[in-house]
């Protein structure tokens, strides 16, 4: 969703769209019926519940379904119409790289018009400008926001990686189980 919002270049993702078209209405109906969103993909048969190791194809379908549920849930909270939500998912499918190894590209010329991204952590806003989250490599640019396939048992997680840690100094206090952030100073 972040790559969509910042305007990362899109590439047709037929596998994601196929899942969205085949199961989108069912997923949306289950969300509207207040079905626990954690169970939806298992209930429609896209995620295994027997504990056995899944093939890459099943894992992709399960993870894609879970992403679609999250996308739909976010738009449902914003009181969007069913039609809007289903169309939104189609568009977001193109923001999800079809190949896990592919980074989402960004048009370097558009960097000055890209949005500020803000994370709310512990009641404080931590902002990243395009110069913080766009990585310039050679003659091109890529988004620093990358999606990862994480084992379903771990749930939804965020990794605040190098683009965040480059902007904010981070201190880990393992004894107190706390993390602290502060503006990083420039050594220029």
* pLDDT tens digit sequence for 97-120: 555 555 778 888 988 999 999 999
- Tens digit of pLDDT for each residue in 52-97? 665 666 677 888 888 899 889 989 989 999 999 999 898 888 766 5
Query: What single DSSP character describes residue 187?
Result: -
Could you tell me the residue ranges of all domains in the chain?
A: 2-93, 105-183
- Quote the percentage of the chain above a pLDDT of 70: 81
Asked if 42 contacts 27 with a C-beta cutoff of 8 angstroms, the reply is no
Q: Looking at residues 124-132, what average pLDDT do you find?
A: 93
3-state secondary structure of 1: coil
- Quote the percentage of the chain above a pLDDT of 90: 25
* Single pTM value for the model: 0.58
Number of neighbours of residue 96 by Cβ within 10 angstroms: 24
> Which of 40-54, 131-145, 161-175 bottoms out in mean pLDDT, i.e. has the lowest?
40-54
Dist CA 47 CA 63 (whole Å): 8
Instruction: For residue 99, give Cα distances in angstroms to 14, 35, 37, 154.
Output: 11, 30, 26, 22
Query: What single DSSP character describes residue 91?
Result: H
Task: State the average pLDDT for the chain.
Answer: 82
- The architecture (CATH level 2) of 105-183 comes to Beta Barrel (2.40)
Residue whose token pair is 């899944």: 54
């Amino acid at each position: 969703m972040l790559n969509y919002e910042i305007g990362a270049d899109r590439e047709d993702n037929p596998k994601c769209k196929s899942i969205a078209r085949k199961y989108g209405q069912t997923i949306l109906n289950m969300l509207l019926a207040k079905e626990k969103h954690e169970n939806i993909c298992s209930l429609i048969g896209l995620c295994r519940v027997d504990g056995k190791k899944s093939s890459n194809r099943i894992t992709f379908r399960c993870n894609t379904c879970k992403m679609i549920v999250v996308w739909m849930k976010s738009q449902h909270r914003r009181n969007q119409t069913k039609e809007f939500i289903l169309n939104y998912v189609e568009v977001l499918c193109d923001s999800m790289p079809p190949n896990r190894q592919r980074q989402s590209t960004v048009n370097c010329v558009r960097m000055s018009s890209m949005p500020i991204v803000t994370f709310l952590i512990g009641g404080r806003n931590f902002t990243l400008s395009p110069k913080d989250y766009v990585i310039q490599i050679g003659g091109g640019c890529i988004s620093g926001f990358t999606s990862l396939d994480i084992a379903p048992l771990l749930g939804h997680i965020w990794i605040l990686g190098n683009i965040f840690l480059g902007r904010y100094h981070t201190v880990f206090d393992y004894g107190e189980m706390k993390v602290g952030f502060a503006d990083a100073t420039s050594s220029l």
